[in-house]
Amino acid sequence: MKLGAFRLILTALALPASVSTAAPASDGAAALDQQQAQRIDPQYSCIVCHTDMRRAFLEGVHSERGIRCHDCHGGDPRAFEVAAAHADPSFVGTPDKIQIVELCSSCHSDPNQMRQYGLTVGQLAEFQTSRHGQLLLRDRNFDAPTCTDCHNAHMILPPNDARSNVYPTNIVITCARCHENAALMGKYGLQIDQVKNYRESAHGVALFQSSNFAAPTCIDCHGSHAALPPAVLQIANVCGHCHVLVRRAFYAGPHGKAALDGRLPGCTACHSNHGTERVLPEGIADTCVNCHGADTPAVAHGEEVERLAIHATEELGSAAAAIDELVVAGHRTSDVQFRYQTARTSYLQIGQAQHSLDLTALEDLSREVASISRDIRGVAEVAAEHRWEHKLILLPVWFLTLSVTVLAWFRIRSSRREGSS
C-alpha cells in the first residue's frame, strides 16, 4: 500500500501548481505545519465532490495531523473531474478489508511515526494473534472485522472520546454489531448471548447504571486487538487483574488448587463468564450443591460460611439503623460513622476471604463486624436513654402548666357566675 508523504501533501495544498507529480510515496511522516494542517484547502478536489465525507473526516483525529484523502485513497487531488481525479495510477478506490489492515498499519505499526504521539504500535501484531486476525489475514474470510469495523473509516477518534466507537460504553455496541448477528455467528457455532448477558451482569449494571468505569467491558477480559476467549487456566488471572484480593484468597484454598490442576474452570465455575451476578449471602450454600453432594462435608462447610456471612450482614445492618436513629434525633455521628466504615471494610473482606473457605479467617472478620456494630448500637441506646431523661425532667413543668390552666379556668367560671347573679 502506497502512502503519501506529508511534506509533499502540505506543499501540494499550499502550492497546487508546483507539484505535478504528488504521487503518494511511502517515506513516512514529516513534521507538520500545524496551521496548514488544521484545514483542507478549498482547492483540494476530493472534498469538492465528496462533501459528505468532509465533515466526518474533519472531526476525526487524522485531519488534524495533516493526513488527507489521497494518503489513504490515492488519486489526484488537483483534478476536478471524476475521471481525472480517479485516473491517477495511485488511486486505490475503496480498499478491501485486508488492504485496510495494511493501510492503517503502515503508520500505526511504525514506531518512528507513532512515538511522537505517545501511541503504541502493537495493534497489528496483536490483531494477528486474535481469532479475528487469523480469520481475516490467514483464511482471507471477510466475516472478520477489520480496523474500520471497530474504528470507523473517516471519523476515527481516540478511545477516551465519548463519541468514539471504542469508548467504554460504546464498545459493547461495536462488538454486538456482529456478535448479536445470529446468521453470522451461526456459521462459527458461536452463541449470540454474550452481549445480552453482559448487560444484565453485575459488570454491565456497574458500567451502564452506576457509570462505574472500573467495571470491565468486552475488551478487559478478551483484549481489544487480541480478542480471544481466555483459556481455562487464565481465567482467574483475567478476573484477578481487578479482583486482586479475591484471587489471592481463591488460590489459598482448595478450589484454587483444583483450578491449577485443571479440575475447576476458575472463577467462571461459580460466576459464569458474561452473566456474572452478585451472590447474596443467603445464596452461598446453594452454589456448593452444584458440584458437591448434598450431605457432604463440603456443603456443611458452605452452610457455615453462609451463616457467618448472614450474621455479619445482620450486624452491619443493625449498626446502620442505629446511626440512622442518631441522625434523626439530631446527634453528632462523625465518630460512629468512622467506626461504621471500619466494620464495613471487614464486612467486604468476608466476601473476598470466603473464596479461601478458611473458616478461622471468616470467623475473625465476622466477629470484628459484630463487635463494632455492638459498640455503635450501644452509643445509640445511651443517646436514647438521655432523651428519655430529658423528657422526664420536663414532667414537673407540664404538671405546673396544667394546674395553672385548670385554676385559671375555675377563676373565670366563678367570676362569670358572680356577674350573672
For residues 237-264, one letter each, b for 16 or more C-beta atoms within 10 angstroms of the residue's C-beta and e for the rest, the string is: ebbbeebeebbebbbbeebbeebeeeeb
- Is residue 316 within 8 A of residue 373, CB to CB? The reply is yes
CB-count burial class (<10 Å; 0-12, 13-18, 19+) for 152: middle
Decide: helix, strand or coil at residue 11. Answer: helix
214 binds ligand HEC (CB under 6 A): yes
Instruction: Please give the single-letter amino acid code of residue 42.
Output: P
Residue in 10, 315, 316, 354 binding ligand HEC, rule: CB under 6 A? 354
Using CB under 6 A as the binding rule, the residues of this chain from 115 to 174 that contact ligand HEC are 117, 119-120, 123-124, 127, 131-132, 135, 143-145, 147-151, 153-154, 156, 158-159, 166, 171-172, 174
Chain CA centroid to CA 386, Å:
48
Please select the residue that binds ligand HEC; options are 19, 23, 48, 384, rule is CB under 6 A: 48
SS3 239: helix
Triad 270, 225, 98: Cα angle to 5°: 135
Q: Cell 473458616 appears where?
A: 359
Give yes or no for residue 275 binding ligand HEC (CB under 6 A). no
- Of the residues 33, 43, 229, 375, which one makes contact with ligand HEC according to CB under 6 A: 229
With vertex at residue 168, the alpha carbon angle to CA 122 and CA 103, rounded to the nearest 5 degrees, is: 35
- Find the binder of ligand HEC among 5, 13, 71, 333 (CB under 6 A): 71
**Binding to ligand HEC, residues 371-390 (CB under 6 A):** none
* In the block, residue with C-alpha cell 452506576: 210
Q: Which of 351, 362, 369, 376 binds ligand HEC (CB under 6 A)?
A: 351
Confirm or reject binding of residue 307 to ligand HEC (CB under 6 A).
Answer: no
Q: Is-contact 349 362, C-beta < 8 A?
A: no
What does the DSSP 8-state code read for residue 279?
Answer: -
Among 27, 34, 188, 411, binds ligand HEC (CB under 6 A): 188
CB of 15 to ligand HEC, least distance (A): 17
Specify the residue, 283 or 378, whose C-beta has the smaller distance to ligand HEC: 283
- Whole-number minimum distance, CB 390 to ligand HEC, in Å? 41
Nearer to ligand HEC, 10 or 100 (CB): 100
Shortest distance, CB of residue 13 to ligand HEC, whole angstroms? 12
Sign of the CA dihedral running 258, 262, 263, 267: positive
Q: How many CB atoms lie within 10 A of CB 411?
A: 10
* DSSP calls for 88-111: STT---S--HHHHHHHHHHHHT-H
The reply on whether position 305 binds ligand HEC by CB under 6 A is yes
The region of 77-85, 362-370, 381-389, 410-418 touching ligand HEC under the rule CB under 6 A is 77-85
**Looking only at residues 238 through 257 of this chain, which bind ligand HEC when binding is defined by CB under 6 A?**
238-243, 246-247, 250, 254-255
Q: Which of 284, 319, 323, 369 binds ligand HEC (CB under 6 A)?
A: 284
Residue of 41, 220, 314, 325 that binds ligand HEC (CB under 6 A):
220
**By CB under 6 A, what part of segment 2-41 binds ligand HEC?**
3
Q: CB of residue 210 vs ligand HEC: minimum separation in angstroms?
A: 6
Asked if 90 and 2 touch (Cβ cutoff 8 Å), the reply is yes
Per CB under 6 A, the list member of 279, 321, 359, 361 interacting with ligand HEC is: 279
Number of chain residues interacting with ligand HEC (CB under 6 A): 140
